[in-house]
Amino acid sequence: MRKLFFAVVLVLVATCSASNGLEGESLRSLAEKLGIYIGYASINHFWTIPDSNRYMEMARREFNILTPENQMKWDSIHPEPDRYNFSYAERHVEFALENNMLVHGHTLVWHNQLPFWLNRQWTKEELLKVLEDHIKTVVGHFRGRVKIWDVVNEAVSDMGSYRETIWYKTIGPEYIEKAFVWARQADPEAILIYNDYNIETINPKSNFTYQLIKELKEKGVPIDGIGFQMHIDINGIDYDSFRNNLKRFADLGLKLYITEMDVRIPKSATQKDLDRQAEIYAKIFEICLENPAVQAIQFWGFTDKYSWVPGFFAGYDHALIFDKDYNPKPAYFAIKRVLEAKVSKGR
Ligand code: G3I
């Protein structure tokens, strides 16, 4: 009788611990069988948050690549002209390397999250020097440990022209090629990518980006890949256009990355919204896995508890694949089914 009682307790404990649906193979394990990377943006100070252990446990189980969400950006890593602060970025890198994950560095040239000291008048020569010093110092510091860099981020406007940033207005368009050349010099082994949003399908912005990268490649500028951020909403995207767009960038000889995926849905999400979101995630994964140039698919976070979406899009939330209690959502299972099918048929 006693034995029976303990057996029942054991079964109950096992059922409860698997009840969030995470029993079985992880996304990471499936991705590794397919030879791709699956990852997430790693939140600020994840080592001090109250649910740090849970966060880290999920991350190491499900993913094999991470991008620090903010802590490699200029304002964090280069707070004063002559002072770099690598301590926070190092925590992300250490966590990744301890858990056999790749690190995707983000980002060397952007117009947001710049330190206050950059906000003054510069001559072209001065700003070139500042940029060269930043890129060589940061890439050099992480040489061999950060394998992929978003060298230039969001340099194209939504209309399809150069974005009018401090870099463009002071230096001119050549800041882009110089950034790639300096990054290559600082770490010849790192994969160097151009990263942007709203370039997933064929449109004026992706056309301009395509032409820009094509010309840079023809000049011999060391660009290895392109990052499609993929911040999208419940309306999804035009899938044929996405497929064709991936193909044209791959035909330039580039590696392809989905770098920041999330699918925002209404704050008051219904089961129907969650199912629709799952379909969108699954479809994007299917199309990516058709194209052998796709190397990695990363989400901009993994739990809805920590996501930039509610703070930036009024009325939207729940954009990621785990809910606020770390339970897998329909999107998680839909992605898993796509990966499992690919594993059984071969990519
Ligand atoms: O660090 C300050 C902190 O000192 C202050 O107390 C707090 C008060 O609001 O703000 C903190 O800064 C915030 C920063 O994230 C660091 O957490 C900013 O307000 C906030 O605007 C900033 O948002 C980030 C955003 O980039 C800035 O543009 C998001 O977390 C981050 O997810 C987002 O990421 C970008 C990618 O880098 C590029 N692609 C688009 C993507 C989403 O916008």
> What single-letter DSSP state applies at residue 117?
G
Domain assignment present for residue 10? The answer is: no
State the chain's mean pLDDT as an integer: 95
Predicted TM-score (pTM) of this structure: 0.94
Q: What is the widest separation between alpha-carbon atoms in the chain?
A: 85
pLDDT digits 0-9 by tens, 27-49: 999 999 999 999 999 999 999 99
The alpha carbon of 70 and the centre of ligand 1 are apart by a number of angstroms equal to 7
Domain assignment present for residue 313? The answer is: yes
Domain that holds residue 279: 30-346
The alpha carbon of 311 and the centre of ligand 1 are apart by a number of angstroms equal to 9
Domain assignment present for residue 223? The answer is: yes
Q: Is the CB of 277 under 6 A from ligand 1?
A: no
- Give CA–CA dist 289/21, Å, rounded: 24
Domain assignment present for residue 126? The answer is: yes
pLDDT digits 0-9 by tens, 218-260: 999 999 999 999 999 999 999 999 999 999 999 999 999 999 9
Question: Quick check: 311 and 319 in contact, CB under 8 A?
Answer: no
Domain assignment present for residue 35? The answer is: yes
Domain assignment present for residue 20? The answer is: no
- Give CA–CA dist 76/97, Å, rounded: 21
Which residues face 294 on adjacent strands?
A: 256
SS3 state at 260: strand
Domain assignment present for residue 1? The answer is: no
Domain assignment present for residue 4? The answer is: no
Say how many domains are in the chain: 1
Beta strand pairing call for 255-266 and 316-317: antiparallel
Q: Residue 294: which CATH number?
A: 3.20.20.80
pLDDT digits 0-9 by tens, 64-120: 999 999 999 999 999 999 999 999 999 999 999 999 999 999 999 999 999 999 999
Beta strand pairing call for 316-317 and 37-42: unpaired
Minimum CA distance residue for ligand 1 atom 41:
260
Q: Is the CB of 40 under 6 A from ligand 1?
A: no
What does the radius of gyration of the chain's CA atoms come to, in whole angstroms? 21
Q: By CB neighbour count within 10 A (0-12 exposed, 13-18 middle, 19+ buried), where does 148 fall?
A: buried
Separation in Å, CA 173 to CA 122, 127, 257: 16, 13, 24
- Give CA–CA dist 53/202, Å, rounded: 42
